[in-house]
Structure formats: structure tokens, C-alpha cells
Amino acid sequence: MSDYMKRSFLVALWFVFLTFPLMVVKVNTLKNTVEWRWMNMLWVAIGAFVLSLLWRWALERRQLKNKEAESGEDESTRLGFGQRLLVEPKLYKPVLAVLFVATIAFPLLFDIYQTNIMVLALVFVVLGLGLNVTVGLAGLLDLGYVAFFAVGAYTYGILNSFWGIGFWTSLPIGGLMGALFGIALGFPILRLRGDYLAIVTLGFGSIAKIVIENWEEVTNGAKGIAGIPRPGFFGADMSITSATTYTYYLMILMVIFTIFITNRLKDSRIGRAWMALREDEIACVAMGVDMAKTKLGAYAFGAFWAGLVGVIFAARNTYINPNSFTFMESALVLSIVVMGGMGSIVGVIIAALVLILMPEYLRAFSEYRMLMFGAIMVLMMIFRPEGLIANVRRKYRGHKVMTEDVNA
């Protein structure tokens, strides 16, 4: 025990050294003044000490778990609560019912501000589910996902400001444009391996933003497009409140639609091809899966949702500019997928709601938002790579009874 303490103490010292210049000293090079913030050192020391104890404990636990898994203990019999919630009707039916009532009642119980935030959170739920297809199912790391979101939003913005085309016409066009861009992006990088893919998609994401910023004639540059109409309802004139409520229900339908499609797709032929591709590309191709088609499908499909929901985002905000589509948004969506559990639909929904709503309601957090997202990504990868709620994979189980029969 004292050994633990000693090592954590050394770690704390190391972090004090490491963070000293950045956390303590703050120079103003214009006025030539220095501010010394010694108190920060204390926090760093205490934090590092505690965290290092926790870190070592968690690492040891992970090792223990790995050993258990190796020794052949059947893990599928011990599903976590989250997973049991997914497979046992007795558990998920009442939860679904409560959830259904809560979603319907939400705009009636809360004011327009809350509803508006909820719409944003739902937008990110759909984004998360879309990226979940590309990253979670097909294992293609996409760091420029927000570009497709921007494509959708700008499709509506441009169609509307130039030709006065309405929301409902733009919605499918936005989705298709997203898918089209997904395919266009997918083509050149089909042959690339995972890590190259990440950096190229990162590049595409940044290119999209730069192009939007500089192509003033069409996108109105950094000023953005203003005065985008909210979703219409058979030409009815709506106040802002009812329009927001309407958008909310629209978004709920959208989320249900997305869940339905992605869930069905997951168990379909192409969905299983995606998962096979993720697990082992070479083996998958050897089994006769058309790699090009499958990968492009994953890109197009993931991008489709981003485009679709981009249109709704533009309609919700009534104003878009390039700053809504930075790398930070891509990183946010990625951390939603990572935290939720790659390939797990319920996990992604929960993660999206938590990550979007928490900074909105706990203002103190919002400053530390990105810091936390970064930490979450690292910690999740190390300690819980399967995410909050792991995807329950379909498994083939040999029946023990049968083998006994054979022996007899």
C-alpha cells in the first residue's frame, strides 16, 4: 500500500513539474508583467495524486478482467444491466413506454428555450447515429463528418436564398447531396488504410470549411446565410413557439426514422458486411464481399444522415455560417460515438444527450467541454473500448445438449 502511495506521490511531483510553466506562470508580453498562480500547483498535485491511484487501480482491474476472459469464463452469460435492458422485453417495454410519454410531453412541460436545446441535442443524436454507421459498424474513422452536415445545411440555405425552394423539398435533396459527397470523398480513399483515412477525412472537413468561407458568391462567405425559413406545415403561419414545438416533433420523428433504418440495416446483408470489413478487411474480401461497394455504401449512408439533419439544423437556426462546421463539431460527434459504444444505437443516443445537454445545463462545465471530450476519448479507449452500452452481437451458440446426444 505504501508502495502505491509512494508511486502516486512521485507521479504527482512529475505532474507538478510538467504543468508548472503553463499552469502557474502567465506572462503578458505586451505589458511585460507576470502573474504567478501558485494555487494551481496545489490542485494539480492533489488531482494527479488521486488520479494516479485511480489509474493504477483501473489498469489492474482491466488486467484481471482480461485474464478472466482468457481463462475461458463465458462472458455472454453475464450481461451488464445496460445490455439486459436491450434484450429482455420485460425490462425494455416499460422503459420505452415512459420514454415515449416523456418525449411527447416534453415541449408541453418545458418552455421554448429548453425545447430548442432539445432539438439541437436530437440533431446530434442523428449525427451520432449516422457516424456510428461509418465508424462503429464499418470501422472507417471519419474525422471530417461535419462536412456532410455543412453540405446539408448549405444545400437548404442556398436553394432557399437563390430559388426560394422550401424545407420539404430541400430535405431529401440535402440528404442526397450528403450521400453524393460521401461517395465523392469515398472514391479516392477506398484503398487507404484506417489511419490514412482519418487524416484525409480530416483534410476534407477543413477544405469544406475553407471553401465555404471563401466562395462568397454562393455561400456568402464568413457572413453566412440568414433568414432561412423554419420548417413549414402546409403553408400554415406559425409563431416562433409553435414552430419550435413543431421542429421538435419533426426531430423526434427523424430520430425514430434513423433508429429504425440503422437498426434494420445493422442486421442486413450489407450491415454484416460492414462489420466483417471492420473486423478483418482481408478475410472479408476473401469471403467475397465487394470492398469498394461496401465501403462507399458506408460513407454514403453515414453522410446521408448528416446531410438530412443538416437541413433541419439550418431550419432550426434560421441562420448558418461556417463557424458551425468546424473540426470541433466533428470531434464532438466522434466522442459521442466513442462514448456510446461503437455500433451501439442506444449507447450513442444516451451519449449524445449527455454530451450536448450537460454543457448546456451545467454552465460551469461548458468551459471544460472540449477538455472533457478529449479525456473521455482517451479513457474510453483504454478502459472501456466497447463504450457505455456495448453492442450486443449476434452469436452462434452450440447447444450442449446436442453434443451430449452425440456422445451417447
Partner 1 sequence: MQYFLELSCSGLVRGSIYALIALGYTMVYGIIQLINFAHGEIYMIGAFIALIVAGVLTIYGFSGVSILILAGLIATIYAAAYGYTLEKIAYRPLRNAPRLSPLISAIGMSLFLQNYVLLAQTPDFLSFPSLIPDFGFMEPVAHIMGSAELVILVTSAVAMVALTVLIKYTRIGKAMRATQQDMTMARLVGVNVDNVISVTFVLGSVLAAIGGVLVGSYIGQINFYIGFMAGVKAFTAAVLGGIGNIPGAVLGAMVLGLAESFAAGYISSAYEDVFAFGVLVLILILRPSGLLGKAVKQKV
Interface ranges with partner 1 (CB under 8 A): 14, 17-19, 21-23, 25-30, 32-34, 40, 59, 62, 139, 141, 143, 188-189, 191-192, 194-196, 198-200, 202-204, 206-207, 210-211, 214, 282-283, 327, 331, 334-335, 338, 367-368, 370-371, 373-378, 381-382, 385
Q: How far is the CB of 87 from partner 1 (least distance, A)?
A: 25
Neighbours of 84 (CB within 10 A): 14
Residue 255 CB, nearest approach to partner 1 (Å): 25
Q: Please name the residue that has the C-alpha cell 458568391.
A: 217
CB closer to partner 1 out of 33 and 407: 33
> In the complex with partner 1, which residue's Cβ is closer, 80 or 374?
374
Q: Minimum distance from CB of 375 to partner 1 (Å)?
A: 6
* Element of type H or E holding 34: strand 33-36
Taking the least distance from each CB to partner 1, the nearer of 29 and 407 is 29
Of 152, 128, 161, which is closest to residue 345 (Cα–Cα)? 128
Pick from 353, 346, 343: nearest CA to 92: 346
C-beta closer to partner 1: residue 211 or 357: 211
The runs of H, that is alpha helices, within 22-88 are 39-70, 81-87
Measured from the CB atom, is 57 or 368 closer to partner 1? 368
User: How open is the CA angle 145-161-173, to the nearest 5 degrees?
Assistant: 45
Shortest Å, Cβ 315 to partner 1: 29
Least distance (Å) from partner 1 to the CB of residue 201?
10
Nearer to partner 1 by C-beta: 4 or 36? 36
- Residue whose cell numbers read 420523428: 253
Rounded to a whole number of angstroms, the minimum distance from the CB of residue 408 to partner 1 is: 41
CB of 356 to partner 1, least distance (A): 16
Classify each residue of 305-328 as buried b or exposed e, where b means 16 or more C-beta atoms within 10 Å of its C-beta: bbbbbbbbbbbbbeebbbebbeee
**Dihedral angle computed from the Cα positions of residues 355, 357, 360 and 363, in that order, rounded to the nearest 10 degrees:** -70
Question: Whose grid coordinates read 444522415?
Answer: 305
Q: Provide Rg for the chain, Cα atoms.
A: 24
Cα(235)–Cα(202) distance, rounded to whole angstroms? Answer: 40
Cα–Cα dist 184/299, whole Å: 9
Instruction: Write the burial class of residue 45 (CB in 10 Å: 0-12 exposed, 13-18 middle, 19+ buried).
Output: middle
How near is the Cβ of 29 to partner 1 at its closest, in Å?
Answer: 5
Q: Which CB, 123 or 143, lies closer to partner 1?
A: 143
- Min CB(372)–partner 1 separation in Å: 9
What is the smallest separation between the CB atom of 228 and partner 1, expressed in angstroms?
Answer: 25
Our CB check for partner 1 shows the closer of 212 and 314 to be 212
Task: Identify which of residues 97 and 292 has a Cβ nearer to partner 1 in the complex.
Answer: 292
Nearer of residues 53 and 199 to partner 1, judged by Cβ: 199
Alpha helices in 221-344 (DSSP H): 240-266, 269-279, 281-286, 291-317, 327-340
Q: Judge residue 396's burial from the number of C-beta atoms within 10 Å of its C-beta, 0-12 exposed, 13-18 middle, 19 or more buried.
A: exposed
Grouping H, G, I as helix, E, B as strand and the rest as coil, residue 319 is: strand
